[in-house]
Amino acid sequence: MPLSTEPNRIERVGETALKVVWGDGHESLYAWEFLRASCPCAVCREAAPAAAGVKPAEIKPVGRYAMAIRWSDGHATGIYSHEYLRSICRCESCVPNQMTEG
Ligand SMILES: [Zn+2]
Ligand SMILES: [Zn+2]
């Protein structure tokens, strides 16, 4: 069964993280620093960003498939597609799957 990449709910969890509840009921929790470090833009993939203490200044949806995050360090070019977010879920049931992808 393919994983759902349709979020039912996206919400901030206090000051520390973003929570996504997916269409299939799966819940993903992303710490801000992890999300910042996982920025999918070309610049950040080339050189890992300094993510310590970074928080989102603004989160807004991009169409129906992604979200854009403007960070407190001024970086705003990362577009986090829902599919990408689902693929980097760090929960106990997802991490082993990611390991096998090499
Ligand atoms: Zn980036
Ligand atoms: Zn997961």
Confidence class of residue 3 from pLDDT cuts 50, 70 and 90? confident
Q: Determine the Cα–Cα distance for residues 64 and 59; give it in Å rounded to an integer.
A: 14
Tokens representing residue 44 in the block: 């950040």
For residue 87, the CA-to-ligand 2 centroid distance in Å is: 8
Q: Where are the domains of the chain?
A: 7-100
Say which amino acid occupies 101.
Answer: E
The tens digit of pLDDT for each residue in 46-100 reads 998 999 999 999 999 999 999 999 999 999 999 999 999 999 999 999 988 776 5
Q: Are strands 56-62 and 66-71 parallel, antiparallel or unpaired?
A: antiparallel
Distances (CA, A) of 96 to 6, 55, 71, 93: 22, 27, 29, 6
Report the SS3 class of residue 96: helix
Written as six digits, the tokens of 60 are 């807004």
Distance 95 CA to ligand 2 centre (A): 7
Residue 59 to residue 50: CA distance in whole angstroms: 19
Would you state the CATH architecture of domain 7-100?
2-Layer Sandwich (3.30)
Report residues near ion ligand 1: CB below 5 Å.
39, 41, 44, 78
Kindly tell me if the per-residue pLDDT of 101 is higher than 90. Answer: no
Beta pairing class for 17-22 and 66-71: unpaired
